[in-house]
Structure 1
Amino acid sequence: MASYLQIPDDEKGHDLDLFCVPRHYENDLDKVIIPHGFIMDRTERLARDIIQDMGGHHIVALCVLKGGYKFFADLLDYIKVLNHNSDKSVPLTVDFIRIKSYCNDKSTNSVKVIGGDELSNLSGKNVLIVEDIVETGRTMQALLSLLSKCNPKMIKVVPDAFLVGYALDHNEYFRDLSVSVGKSHSY
């Protein structure tokens, strides 16, 4: 059984007319790739998998802002429900960090980490990183290098694909969509 959902690169998606999409985005979007209900169901299952994989030991959930915030909040809600309704629960703490590697829509050659002053508290803990988009991997490599200096017990990364909506953006647009959509190439 697969532990992930694979969406083919040539996924046809769903017609925008089938969903509530703000009118000011209609000309910028091609299709809905992942409907909101599907996202929520998959997020609930990921929470269960995370508890099973990382449970039994303190988890520090680290959100990479801005794009990771919506998925992060929903994921933590499901983890909290599992913690409250299970015979076995796990301590969970939350932290936030920003990483800059883009100027407008262009990738720069430098990675700047903002925040994370309390990352020294990660020693011996399981760290769950919720990132928005892993494109070149340079940003994630910089973050993993920084975190490894803190001697965590385990580090796991939860990436999203390159989509917009559900808090994922393109130049700060589309974060307010509740679905993940394929973006037109009009920018």
Structure 2
Amino acid sequence: ISSSLREAANEDTCVTISDEEPGDDLDLFCVPNHYAKDLEKVFIPHGLILDRTEKLARDVMGDMGGHHIVALRVLKAGYTFCADLLDYVKTRFFKSYCNDQSTGAIKVLGGDNLSTLAGKNILIVEDIIDFGKTMQIFLSLVQQHNPKMVEVANLLVKRTPRSIGYQPDFVGFEIPDKFVIGYALDYNEYFRDLNHVCVISETGKAKYKSEAESLG
């Protein structure tokens, strides 16, 4: 693993992956054979993800510890990171939420009334922030129900000029503006079963292009 990927993080920062980070060759890791030609590089190995997630959990507990924590997950791609994080954080998983990307509105999955968040200590868990708009909408919705505390943990934050400037409370990795898949992050519902965070190849994009994209 290259030195830039190993950059140490202190309590106030995340692990920053530089724009020049080349990633690592696929043959250095266990990658499903059916994806062998669909990936360029392994960007963040699974073991490093887990180690960083454990550290995030310790940071969360250091900041929110001593309180009962209610965890909220945004978007289904965050389920793997959320599950791994909560394995390290002793907490109760409350309910999943997702963003309706066709309207930009928040759609609640499940029957619980959000008023049950009142007075609770809330940890919002998300896989990746591209621009930050979805998270700001979700935070606004949660805050309307008067929780005691709200903090956000993200595995990945993209470094992009399209960002609105939002920064979560806990971040695993700050990454370049690349399209990454794996660790439940998908491309048209493929690659969710890939353990590592990888960069998709042009072959992979063409192979798994959706019908709508093909017609367009």
Superposition misfits of 4+ residues, deviation over 6 angstroms: none
Match of 1:7 among 10, 14, 17: 17
Contact conserved, 1:36 with 1:178, CA < 8 A, in 2? yes
Classify the secondary structure of the residue corresponding to 1:156.
strand
SS class of match (2:100): strand
SS in 2 for 1:127: strand
Quote the residue 1:31 is aligned against: 41
Could you tell me which runs of 5 or more consecutive residues in structure 2 were left unpaired when the two chains were aligned. 1-8, 157-178, 206-216
Aligned Cα root-mean-square deviation (Å): 1.9
Q: TM-score, normalised by structure 1?
A: 0.82
Provide the residue aligned with 2:98 in structure 1.
Answer: 98
Aligned to 1:171: 188
Aligned to 2:138: 143
Task: Give yes or no for the alignment of 1:76 onto 2:114.
Answer: no
Q: Output the CA distance in 2 between the equivalents of 1:18 and 1:28.
A: 16
> What's the CA shift string for 1:164-185, capped at 9, x where partnerless?
1111112111110111112224
Residue in structure 1 matching 2:120, options 111, 118, 125: 125
Q: Could you tell me the percent identity over the aligned residues?
A: 55
Q: Confirm or deny that 1:153 pairs with 2:153.
A: no
CA contact (8 A) 1:111 1:138 kept: no
Q: Which residue of 2 aligns with 1:181?
A: 198
Instruction: Choose which of 107, 114, 122 in structure 2 pairs with 1:113.
Output: 107
TM-score relative to the length of structure 2: 0.72
> Displacement, 1:24?
2.1
Gaps of 5+ in 1: 81-90, 102-107
Q: C-alpha displacement at 1:41, in angstroms?
A: 1.1
